[in-house]
Amino acid sequence: MSPAVALATPPPAAPQSASRGQAIIVLEAIHKIYALGEEAQVHALRGVDLTVTAGSYLAIMGPSGSGKSTLLNLLGCLDRPTAGRYYLGGEDVSQMSDDALSEVRGRKIGFIFQSYNLIPQLSVLENIQVPLLYQGLDLRDYEARCVELARLVGLGDRLHHRPNQLSGGQQQRVAIARSLVNDPLMILADEPTGNLDSRTGAEVLDLIDRLNRDGKTIILVTHDDRVASRAHRVIHMRDGLIDREVINRAAPTAPTPAHA
């Protein structure tokens, strides 16, 4: 294990990083139907089956309206499927209550958003701490870990800056540190480079690559082929179903065939 994830200070919960190759996400015949009005319905997902193993690097692509955002929301436990089963880390989360889903998000999922979504009134350090806040933890016990994460993303000298004092690339790196603080089962990245120029975007992607190399499961949604080319596995969505799937052995972090 490289030092990136194996920090000197422990994560809040017991380490959740499942051993490589173990299935952490299992979707079984997931349907999602949005009711728009009395009769109008949108069948956003029409029976998606998907299994993601620990340590994978998965990219989801597809045109708008294909259901990829819906899938991402479901994967992120922000929404519940209309039908079907979703097991996250062995736990069925498909029909959980709002509170229970919040709990799952806080403990098992790390989010990276296109527009960074840092909280403007908080400093870099405080932003990294936010996921811990809702797990009822005493933040003072985890300050060292948060500082270390800030250093990991190269912002060790900007702990007390406000988001508006940072560049876009720096803000996204804070967001990455934040997504790591609860040592999640997986990191969900929604167009992480969408708001960045190609150079800073590449830097951010390098950082994400590094996390994957260290064993983190990454799922990212993008419509940029160059971004998707870094993933080991690319699924293309169309009309609420997985249209096709590409295994990309040329990806920089792709596991050697011996592991695959």
Which residues of the chain form contacts with another protein (CB under 8 A)? 73, 76, 78-79, 98-99, 102-103, 105-107, 111, 113, 117-122, 130-131, 133-136, 138-139, 178, 182
- Please, what is the minimum distance in Å from the beta carbon of residue 115 to another protein? 8
- Please, what is the minimum distance in Å from the beta carbon of residue 239 to another protein? 21
Residue 55 or residue 106: which is nearer to another protein going by CB? 106
Of residues 257, 256, 248, 245, the one with CA closest to residue 51: 245
Residue 102 or residue 248: which is nearer to another protein going by CB? 102
CA distances from 118 to 30, 113, 129, 236 (A): 31, 9, 11, 29
CA distances from 9 to 16, 85, 123, 210 (A): 15, 35, 21, 19
- Please, what is the minimum distance in Å from the beta carbon of residue 137 to another protein? 9
17: CB partners within 8 A, 6+ apart: 5, 54, 183, 185, 215, 216
Residue 180 or residue 234: which is nearer to another protein going by CB? 180
Query: Distance between CA atoms of 8 and 184, rounded to whole angstroms?
Result: 17
| CB burial of residue 121 (10 Å; 0-12, 13-18, 19+) | exposed
What is the widest separation between alpha-carbon atoms in the chain?
Answer: 56
- Please, what is the minimum distance in Å from the beta carbon of residue 126 to another protein? 9
Residue 73 or residue 248: which is nearer to another protein going by CB? 73
Residue 120 or residue 257: which is nearer to another protein going by CB? 120
- Please, what is the minimum distance in Å from the beta carbon of residue 102 to another protein? 4
